[in-house]
A and B are shown apart, each in its own frame.
Chain A
Amino acid sequence: MSPAELAERARARFEDVQLARDEVTVFTERGQLVDALAWLEAEPGLRFDFLSSVTATDWPGQEPRFWLSYELRSTEHHHRVRVKVGVPSSEPHVPSITPFLPAADWHEREVWDFYGIAFDGHPDLTRILLPDDWEGHPLRKDEELGGVDTRFHGAFIPPVDERTTM
């Protein structure tokens, strides 16, 4: 199915569907996320049966501040769709899809680790790549890249530019 046809099919169910660079993006609300994914999987001709990736982007100063994007793939029809959900900074919570789709498990944990967006109903929402006692969520745009001092298991590592006395 061509991206244009795919977008047309999706418009029958979703209000906000965008087609850009041959990629179809479906916008939905947090509350409707699980239903939306279930519909996309069950619908004949679409059959999005494979979750490739879950990730987030951070847009400070805008509302909603965070956008989650779920990349779906159909192993039967070889087409793709992206589902996007806005998450306000005041309430960074989204229903977890891990109970229905185990593929989302580590991806949701990574988003929690990097962006501090909580997935309600996730069986084990802990940090995945950073140490358990890490402070902050480093892929947020207000976290600096360099010059961050690090506290890890009681050790203190000063920022890069303060490590030498020269």
Chain B
Amino acid sequence: MSELLEPAAETTGGDSGEIRQETMIINMGPQHPSTHGVLRLLLELDGETVVACKPVIGYLHTGIEKNVEYRTWQQGVTYVTRADYLAPFANELGYCLAVERLLGIEAPPRAQVLRVLFNELNRVSSHLVWLATSALELGAISVMLYGFREREVILDIFEAATGLRMNHAYVRVGGVVMDLPDGGDAQVRRFLDVMPGRISEYESILSENPIWVERNVGIGHLSAEDCLAYGVTGPMLRAAGVPADLRKDEPYSGYETYDFDVVTRTEADAYARFAVRVDEMRQSLRIAEQCLERLEEPGPVMVEDTKVGWPARLSVGPDGIGNDPAYIHHIMEESMEALIHHFKMVTEGVHVPPGEVYQTVESPRGELGFYVVSNGEHRPYRVKIRDPSFSNLQATAAMVEGGLVADAIAAIASIDPVMGGVDR
């Protein structure tokens, strides 16, 4: 009894008046609203200060790279699109460009314009999700509502054109799966007319908002040298003053023929990343405008070579997108050869010449690379996805350590990690 009444030795400093000094380790995540999915952070805290931070990943690993090795080249698109789920078009494009380079083919001009159009709309929708969730984490709930409101308009365009809001499998080896539906360009036009005003609206809410400025300026600093050392790309690198954009540096899909600027800032903090992303949305709209002009020219959207192009045709019916009735009639009623060809292409697909390529595209988060190896078979030998979020997250500790735990939230939000891409 008397033992219980004794004060525990370690909770007092005795008579000397010493203050207890020890750190606390807490887990943030993996189920935490502000870790953007299932990111887990092991934080060592000294009071409110982060002494050490270790990100733990893998909670969303789905074995995409292994699965792709067991599917045909064409089926690979449906797997890689699910990696970074906020940038499905970038995943599809990177993979298809890699396979096309191995095959030695190029998509028709109209397909390339459609690829650019959807990639840029995708960049806007991805940045909107980033803006919405980051603002929510810092307490700006109305911005969250606005961000998702505008993203919904973009998803409606995606749905009208591809049949799906996410995971579209729209970009295919040799082109895209189908042309814009009737009225699709008008739908994009309406969006392009409305969106610039909305972007200004976000800026008028946030740019000079004292709380937003206080929570972001000087937070999560990562210099250009540190970015390069940790493998950080995308808006984070551009916010540190490096004008690195693969659309300019290593152009693909005709990006060199579009007129747009690479947005940079020099402050290298969370606020600079916010500014870069907002301005990038404007640049993406500029590119989309130019795409619409080019789409006035009709043309094929898939390579003519029937040995490569996907045989099935899709069309929009009263119940949504499905197999084109005219095409079904052709293979089922008219042409035995067409049916045999369809069967061979769908079950076996293309054989890709042996070799390896590393193809990059500028995803909303940075350098998205596809290292694709073929041994000459009808399925990939190896597909490695170099996801930008994976590398960007490596810098978490450098950005967070030494700061306050509340600022860790803002710093991680400014990385814009998408765990589907990180864990693949």
**Interface positions of A (Cβ within 8 A of B):** 20-21, 23, 25, 49-53, 55, 57-58, 69, 71, 73, 75, 78, 80, 82, 101-107, 114, 127-131, 138-139, 145
Contacts and interface: CB of A to CB of B under 8 A. Distances in A.
A23 B394 contact: no
Given A21-B357, A57-B382, A50 B228 contact: yes
Contacts of A53: 358, 369, 371, 384, 386
A11 B358 CA distance: 21
B59 to A, nearest CB: 9
Interface of B: 57-58, 61, 63, 65-67, 69-70, 101-102, 228-231, 242, 244, 249-250, 355-358, 360, 367, 369, 371, 373, 381-382, 384, 386, 390-391, 393-394, 423-424
Contacts of A57: 373, 381-382
Contacts of B231: 50-52, 102-104, 107
Contacts of A105: 394
Contacts of A23: 356-358
Nearest to B391: A103
A55 B371 contact: yes
A130 B66 CA distance: 13
Overall SS of chain B's interface:
mixed
B66 A139 contact: yes
A71 B101 CA distance: 17
Contacts of A69: 356, 371
B386 A71 contact: yes
Contacts of B382: 55, 57-58
25 contacts: A20-B356, A21-B102, A52-B369, A52-B391, A53-B369, A71-B358, A71-B369, A71-B386, A73-B367, A75-B228, A75-B244, A78-B249, A82-B358, A103-B230, A103-B391, A103-B394, A105-B394, A106-B391, A129-B58, A129-B424, A138-B66, A139-B65, A145-B66, A145-B67, A145-B70
Contacts of A80: 250, 358
Nearest to B59: A129
B70 A71 contact: no
B70 to A, nearest CB: 5
A153 to B, nearest CB: 14
Contacts of B360: 52
Contacts of B394: 102-103, 105-106
A49 B391 contact: no
A80 B63 CA distance: 28
Contact of A129 (B57, B67, B69, B367): B57
A133 to B, nearest CB: 13
